[in-house]
C-alpha cells in the first residue's frame, strides 16, 4: 500500500470528514491522502473546486492519485 495515493474530494463536508478519518484509521502512514475541499481550508485540507476541469486536471497531474473518491 506504499504507493496508495487517494484524492479525497469534499473532505471538509460531513461525509468527507468521516471518510477521511476512516481512511487514516485503515491505512495510517501507508497511504497518502490528499484531502480537498471547496470551502475554507482547515489544517490538512487543500482547496479544490471539482467543477473546475482545469483545476482537476492539474491536481491529478500533480498528485497522480491511484484512487479518486
pLDDT at 44: 85
Tell me the per-residue pLDDT of 5-45, one tens digit each, with 9 for 90 and over: 999 999 999 999 999 999 999 998 899 999 999 977 778 89
pLDDT at 66: 97
Which of 6, 23, 20 lies closest to 68 in space, CA to CA?
6
Tell me the per-residue pLDDT of 45-54, one tens digit each, with 9 for 90 and over: 999 999 999 9
pLDDT at 25: 96
pLDDT at 2 over 70: no
Could you tell me the three cell numbers for 62? Answer: 500533480
Q: 32 — phi, psi (to 5°)?
A: -95, 120
pLDDT at 42: 78
Amino acid at each position: 500500500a506504499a504507493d496508495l495515493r487517494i484524492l479525497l474530494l469534499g473532505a471538509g463536508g460531513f461525509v468527507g470528514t468521516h471518510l477521511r478519518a476512516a481512511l487514516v484509521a485503515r491505512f495510517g502512514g501507508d497511504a497518502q491522502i490528499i484531502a480537498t475541499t471547496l470551502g475554507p481550508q482547515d489544517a490538512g485540507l487543500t482547496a479544490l473546486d471539482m467543477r473546475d476541469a482545469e483545476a482537476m486536471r492539474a491536481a491529478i497531474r500533480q498528485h497522480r492519485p491511484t484512487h479518486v473518491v
